Structure 1
Amino acid sequence: MLRLTNILMIFVLSFSLSAFSSEPSAPSPYAVLENVGNKLFNRIAASRQEINKFPSLMQDIVEEELMPSIDYQYASYRILGKHLRKTSAAQREQFVSSMRNYLSRTYATALTKYKNQQVIFEPEKSVANKKIVGIKMQIVELNNPTIDVIFKMRKNKKTGEWKAFDMVVEGISLLSSKEAELSTRIAKQGIEQVSVELASIAK
């Protein structure tokens, strides 16, 4: 059975949490994180019987509830790391598209293991004048240790949106792990080949 730690990957490698506007009255990153998380998990819980009969429904839920809030472009660029400056616009576009589809498929698969665990969000704190914040969330499951998760969120200076670009689980950065995994492959095979491989996995 997939461990709960892996289930947490649904929140992404590059999970984007939009604050909808840069106005003072707009939701804080704390409020947006809780809203997006609760909405996603509540829909899964309400659709559990249908998902059991039609597993492909989870993909629809991910596309409707999660993917609109995924900053897959920023995450993709972070994953490319040192290779980014060596790529053309067309290569970057292909890689971002492949990564988006890969993430969507990965999250849908992981979410099938979600069984209504309790999710506790960190209380609100001031984010005044901050561009990056880390927000803690706890996953509580009966007879299992509580898992602490830190979402690293960045405020887009152009749109005012807060987007989570990384998640740290048990001290391990999922973004850094993916970057390390793909960096060597990109160096050896090239970004276009890696993009094709990611796209094939997502099918």
Structure 2
Amino acid sequence: MKMQLKTWFSKIIVLATALFAMQSVMAAGSPYELTQQAAEKLFADLKANQAQIKANPDSLRSIVRNDLMPYVHVNYAGSLVLGTYFKSTTPEQREKFFAAFNKFIEQAYAQALTMYTDQDIQVQKEQLNSESQASVLVKLLQKNGQAPLNLNFQWRKNSKTGNWQVYDMTAEGVSMVETKKQEWSSILRKDGIDALTVQVQKAAAVPVTVK
């Protein structure tokens, strides 16, 4: 059961890698259009660099860094993860945490992409919850007749720029932001943000490997 759950989450993270947290530097467009653009760019580069990836899995970091990280809203996602502890931290502490969180996301996404096996996806038109809130349903199509995995990307329109940004993703009802928030809350409560930053830095330094 644990292995099945681990495989399920790995497949979810593969798609989340392509689509999570686009920043406003992307061309203006609807959440649906931005989701399509991100997926097409990433998966095209994965297919084009398979030989290099097999020889050196850590090269996936470069693909993630170039294709995804310029568009990841690291600070906003990180502030949501910190939750109520955000207000008790100094600007300097937050800056160090966000820098570590950036590298952590890069490593985690690169590692997740080693699980990529040319799955197909279907992106549904966005559902507007309000003028500034929207969600995009993405289906990760499984092979062998298995039911698709349903992923919902939560978007909000930046009040200053007018551009749409992803701030969270839920997989079958499980939120990525809430998962990390719960996982790290005990460290923040007991030891503070500096201790969490050190742990995140260590996790970010783990080499990408094919298992």
Quick check: TM above 0.5? yes
Closer, same or farther: CA 79–133 of 1 in aligned 2, 3 Å: same
1:1-203 pair list within 5 angstroms: 3-10=7-14, 11=16, 15-18=20-23, 20=25, 26-123=28-125, 127=128, 130-143=131-144, 144-203=146-205
Alignment partners' CA distance in 2, 1:33 and 1:170: 18
More RCO (CA 8 Å, sep 6+): 1
Closer, same or farther: CA 103–128 of 1 in aligned 2, 3 Å: closer
Cα distance, 1:19 vs structure 2: 5.6
The normalised TM-score by structure 1 is: 0.89
Question: What's the secondary structure of 1:112's corresponding residue?
Answer: helix
Question: What's the secondary structure of 1:194's corresponding residue?
Answer: helix
8 A contact 1:19–1:27 mirrored in 2: no
* Unaligned segments of structure 2, at least 5 residues: 206-211
* Unaligned segments of structure 1, at least 5 residues: none
After superposition, the CA RMSD in angstroms is 2.1
How big is each residue's C-alpha offset from its partner over 1:3-41, in whole Å with a ceiling of 9 and x where there is no partner?
2532332525x922246589xxx3111101111111111
Question: What's the secondary structure of 1:163's corresponding residue?
Answer: strand
How big is each residue's C-alpha offset from its partner over 1:99-133, in whole Å with a ceiling of 9 and x where there is no partner?
111111000000011011001100356x5962121
8 A contact 1:122–1:136 mirrored in 2: yes
Alignment partners' CA distance in 2, 1:30 and 1:190: 38
8 A contact 1:80–1:179 mirrored in 2: yes
Alignment partners' CA distance in 1, 2:195 and 2:99: 14
Closer, same or farther: CA 141–35 of 1 in aligned 2, 3 Å: same
Aligned length: 198
Alignment partners' CA distance in 1, 2:196 and 2:136: 32
Identity of aligned residues (%): 28
Alignment partners' CA distance in 1, 2:186 and 2:180: 11
Q: Which moved more, 1:107-116 or 1:38-47?
A: 38-47
8 A contact 1:153–1:164 mirrored in 2: yes
How big is each residue's C-alpha offset from its partner over 1:58-115, in whole Å with a ceiling of 9 and x where there is no partner?
1100000011111111000000101011111011111111111111100000001101
Q: 2:22 corresponds to which letter in structure 1?
A: L
